[in-house]
Structure 1
């Protein structure tokens, strides 16, 4: 396993930007930047943000109390009543301007994402790509998604029906630490263009990225008070967000998702949840093994495996298992670990001590119970305090925690199967159902197998990016992996309330023209039979 180290900063002018690849945390997270970004945060206390690359403090930021959360919602509600009256095409134009600003100024946020999460720069760029695609899509399609729709009425020709879409009001969003740009502002964009305000609680350790995105949206034309940020411990601030919101969007663990859902249910408000996964990748006997090995490395180790849709279970047909593993292990062992604010490293750090301990515990438990480490299996404190080598385990059994529990780190277990039926059965044998990957040269076989997998997305000959990046289509989980969907029509309509307006003309929905009750009932019976015969819907 190789590593890359950031070169030392050169030059003597402290105000001059450091050259590419030589920036330090102090170059990026300056007091001036922190003061500017935290103007948009409601908080009367103070808390700290750290970088996984070194464990050192990046900045002090505001910490919100329950009273601060209530004040943030009050400001957001006042702004929302004005924002929803803004024509949808003007709201969409904000997203399109944000799209351009994000791509033009991506270097700023790439540094922040790396410093706050520890991920490699290429994996940070995946977030920029995803947010830009979402901004473009909803910027172009929001008006069509939200426009009034005509429907057939109860009585053809006499009942005119229109479906309207109204914003829910103020959306409470609880965002995780692992994708601080995509899973914060990326999920907020459709809420904004639908006419809502948002009160967001990002994870404190990755809040600078969310605050930067908020600042860019305001620059693009979003009213500042329509986007509020609150910070603090999840058990303290999270329930307050749920208590005040008109709708809740949550991404995180299944355990916390259940608590969020219970809080929303008690208030009879809607909720969308993207939760955990134990995602399978299936290599069939006819797969292109070189492409499958390269794709599996991306699927397992992007963002150090700290991705809800990354692969943790690798099922390989027994006839090609040895040949596939030879390729897969060679690529895995060649991955470069590094902490530089530049492209070049293949994998970055885990997010912190808690993640490192969880990964170590799963690997140590598996080895103690008989599993074999084929690659990795060790921490790399020589690179940074929370680095861990990409790890491949063989011989994993059901008594091992890594077999069924989500690791959320760079660890994948290998299993062999004899036929497609066995592969499907074992892939589905989990409470989770978020994402899956199938590798085959036979498209028809791949599609047929994909339809049998109980996951919200399935990628053929790719790990996760092709389904996730196809933003016209819904993305989300089955079973314990969540409720609701992001992307496509579902990703924006969930932030709205449907209203049906029915205009009855000429005749009432009841006896008329001298008919008595029995005559009206007979008339309607004949009419219903005729409507079926003439294929009315």
Structure 2
């Protein structure tokens, strides 16, 4: 065991906890290390009044921040990009310490945040610049579209990716000229607070990015009531509450919610590549990834070759409470999450499913470790068949032909991510387009999709509304404003011209416009 975090300077966690402004509350929350279940520090349990104060400070800061040119704001995020890479060891130690994830999984967050900072710093001006639009009357009407920041953006994040989800969605919001108030998960506040510290070191005004720590049912709801836009990542059940509250306040929201994601292995797939893809797609971050696969469908022609190899590779995965890169599977985040995973597996096995590998807790490794588990014989009456487990558990099922596989993939009220494995590219694209998910990877579990930040990403059905990444990922944090100048030849009827004559003339003009647009 190599349980040590050598890159965290002494009292770093204490300093981060004290950086939260919580003048209206004397309460605190303890944060534990999943590797051991021991307390590692405390943060304030902010009150709704603390949230109101933080939003007020962010609203005041927006006046200065939005007055900066996009180029100047981009310089801040460019420096932040460099700081994330330079200080990755400290960031990773804090992430691993409070989330229990494997270090290699934490490094994906470093890459993601740096990629988003670089991308939006380079593209924000292009995405947000004023645009000339066709006027009502050619030459006589000048029409422009402007993008203005919405105001203060509230970001509410879960514990599974404490750096990525705290910062990557905030980056485009900041570049658009908004300020941000972040409510991180109770389990993982220190990563968010360290990220906020690095943003300030990069030159972001202090109140442009505020962090409020506390309980979701108090702080989260108070934040929704106070801000101008809500960005939420989390469960579908909580997402419904967020959407309802935002709708009541007539506040826009963007929600990335849960998944019950399918992976299809077709009969012409490269079995070795598909096995490795399944390992990454099912067990990264101990399965605590919204994009991970919990339903794995394998076509008859390769099922008997695929399953034994998948079982063998799963059995080989290393588990350890370590800060080293060589560990493949980390801990579940908490006792609550551990009990959920164990209950799903026990329920399935008690109703006739078989755990062909795994299926057991590993208290010898740590209090919340659970073995990577492959289930066969899963049926509809089992909880694991429909509900999101959010752990290292996958059900493997045979299917016959392409139509059967597509139907199985779409047999869910969730639609976040899917994957298709085949050596026939045309077949892969044809099937991918028929799967009702916001993202579909071909011969890749999720890395290519997630890293393609120029393309929007989000869920269909009960997996959310709105998109992150690309043009949509920054423009959602703006309001469009149209300004039109009528220079001459007013669209309205001239004062002394009878309306009947005006209508006749305009009808002729409309027909003329159509002929011009159709190319005569």
Q: TM over 0.5, yes or no?
A: yes
TM-superposed CA distance for 1:154, in Å, is 1.5
Give the corresponding residue for 2:409.
427
Aligned partners of 1:451 and 1:228: how far apart in 2? 41
Does residue 384 (structure 1) correspond to residue 362 (structure 2)? The answer is no
Write the mapping of 1:318-329 to structure 2, written as runs, cut at 5 A: 318-329=300-311
What are the superposed Cα offsets for residues 194-252 of structure 1, whole Å, 9 maximum, x if unpaired? 00011110012201000000000111111011111111111111110000010000000
Aligned partners of 2:140 and 2:73: how far apart in 1? 36
- Within the candidate set 324, 327, 345, 1:342 is matched to 324
- Within the candidate set 281, 300, 303, 1:299 is matched to 281
- Please tell me whether the aligned partners of residues 21 and 50 of structure 2 are also in contact (alpha carbons under 8 angstroms): no
Aligned partners of 1:180 and 1:380: how far apart in 2? 24
Aligned partners of 1:82 and 1:521: how far apart in 2? 50
Give the corresponding residue for 1:467.
449
3-state SS of paired residue (1:370): coil
What are the superposed Cα offsets for residues 347-400 of structure 1, whole Å, 9 maximum, x if unpaired? 100001111110111111101110011110001111100000000000000000
Give the corresponding residue for 1:516.
498
- Within the candidate set 54, 76, 80, 2:58 is matched to 76
- Please tell me whether the aligned partners of residues 106 and 128 of structure 1 are also in contact (alpha carbons under 8 angstroms): yes
Unaligned runs of 5+ in 2: none
Write the mapping of 1:168-179 to structure 2, written as runs, cut at 5 A: 168-179=150-161
Give the corresponding residue for 1:19.
none
- Within the candidate set 217, 221, 231, 1:249 is matched to 231
Aligned positions, number: 517
Cα distance change of structure 1 residues 32 and 438 upon mapping to structure 2, 3 Å threshold: closer
Cα distance change of structure 1 residues 297 and 469 upon mapping to structure 2, 3 Å threshold: same
3-state SS of paired residue (1:28): coil
3-state SS of paired residue (1:183): helix
Aligned partners of 2:487 and 2:518: how far apart in 1? 19
- Please tell me whether the aligned partners of residues 34 and 332 of structure 2 are also in contact (alpha carbons under 8 angstroms): yes
Moved more, 156-165 or 135-144: 156-165
- Please tell me whether the aligned partners of residues 510 and 520 of structure 1 are also in contact (alpha carbons under 8 angstroms): no
3-state SS of paired residue (1:205): coil
Does residue 534 (structure 1) correspond to residue 493 (structure 2)? The answer is no
- Within the candidate set 88, 101, 111, 1:119 is matched to 101
Aligned partners of 2:154 and 2:518: how far apart in 1? 41
What are the superposed Cα offsets for residues 480-512 of structure 1, whole Å, 9 maximum, x if unpaired? 000000000111011000111111111111123
- Within the candidate set 21, 30, 35, 2:15 is matched to 35
- TM-score normalized by the length of structure 1: 0.94
Does residue 224 (structure 1) correspond to residue 196 (structure 2)? The answer is no
TM-superposed CA distance for 1:70, in Å, is 0.6
- Within the candidate set 2, 6, 13, 2:2 is matched to 6
Write the mapping of 1:125-274 to structure 2, written as runs, cut at 5 A: 125-274=107-256
Unaligned runs of 5+ in 1: 8-21
Give the corresponding residue for 1:481.
463
Aligned partners of 1:377 and 1:490: how far apart in 2? 41
What are the superposed Cα offsets for residues 104-125 of structure 1, whole Å, 9 maximum, x if unpaired? 1100000011111111000000
- Please tell me whether the aligned partners of residues 16 and 194 of structure 2 are also in contact (alpha carbons under 8 angstroms): no
What are the superposed Cα offsets for residues 336-355 of structure 1, whole Å, 9 maximum, x if unpaired? 00111111100100001111
